[in-house]
Amino acid sequence: MLTMSAFVCDVPETSSIAVVAHFPGTPVVLCSQPGHQGWEVSHHGLELANILPFQGRLYATLRTGSCVPKRVVMVYPPDTSFMTHHELHSSCDLLVECCGRMLLVQQHLTLQRSAKFWQNFEYNIFEVDLSLRKLIPVNCLGNWALFLNTDRCLSVSAKDLPSIHGNSVYFSLPLYPAVLHSLASGVSEELSASCQIHDTRRIRPSVRPFTLAHHLLTYCHHNEWTRGLMFHEYHLIPESFEELHKKIEAQDSQLQIPRAGAGAANSKLLSSS
């Protein structure tokens, strides 16, 4: 429940709204809208990888094997046959809205491998044409920069944010919390250095001093953002941080889930943030 994602969508041909709920790692999507008695299963056996609310509808990429055609589907209103694409070499497919357009970003490994792991990624970007149901290659983002993660993605304009590089992609890896990839040059750059920050026994990457790019990357990582922690310093918290562990447990315990048969007056839902 702590990792549940919920989205508000327009109900077709009405002025009402629907709420769509998804649980990461669980191949079930629930939906509820005015006039319904409760939650209904709108998808079963459909494991979503990355989700994007766009123009009142909900779209997603699916978790599939490396040899299975990747798919972009319309989650609400339900239309699992919305689109299929066949870029099999991508290791990660992400959806992001940019300038009123839906973009599909494919991350894949380069053919020539570098000793520095974070330099081994490249990106293909496509505009998703909703009317023709096809992908249109995008070679340049102009002043825009994309911040990517499977939890959520966002785009920002570098025109008004001097510290952000336009025509670039910002992303994170388990041991590299902030990486900048230039679409123009194809070169990646690590934005943080390793230092001793947690305790006397471990050295981990640090994003201090925090910049706007680090805050935006943290926003793309749901667990750290809602707990008020910076990614990636606190993505893996050492056992020696006993007080922080107690604080997180206390926050998580405030989330009370109403159960079937429980009276509405006796149930409440508190945000873990």
**pTM for the predicted model, two decimal places:** 0.82
pLDDT for residue 8 is more than 90: yes
Domain that holds residue 191: 89-256
Q: Is 68 helix (H, G, I), strand (E, B) or coil?
A: coil
Strand partners, 127: 103, 136
Instruction: Report the percentage of the chain scoring pLDDT > 90.
Output: 32
Only one residue has tokens 């230039």, namely 182
Query: How many CB atoms are closer than 10 A to CB 140?
Result: 10
Question: What is the distance, to the nearest Å, from the Cα of residue 94 to the centroid of all Cα atoms in its chain?
Answer: 8
The answer to whether residue 60 sits within a structural domain is: no
DSSP 119: G
252 located within any domain: yes
Domain total in the chain? 1
Residue at 244 is within a domain = yes
In a domain, 225, yes or no: yes
Report how far residue 2's alpha carbon sits from residue 255's, in angstroms, rounded to the nearest whole number: 8
40 is a domain residue: no
Mean pLDDT of 209-237: 84
Q: What is the mean pLDDT of residues 164-168?
A: 95
Q: Specify if 271 maps to a domain.
A: no
The pLDDT of residue 204? 61
In a domain, 39, yes or no: no
The amino acid that residue 269 corresponds to is L
With cut-offs at 50, 70 and 90, classify the pLDDT of residue 164: very high
The pLDDT tens digits for 63-75 are 765 555 578 889 9
In a domain, 158, yes or no: yes
**Alpha-carbon gap, residue 86 to 71, rounded angstroms:** 8
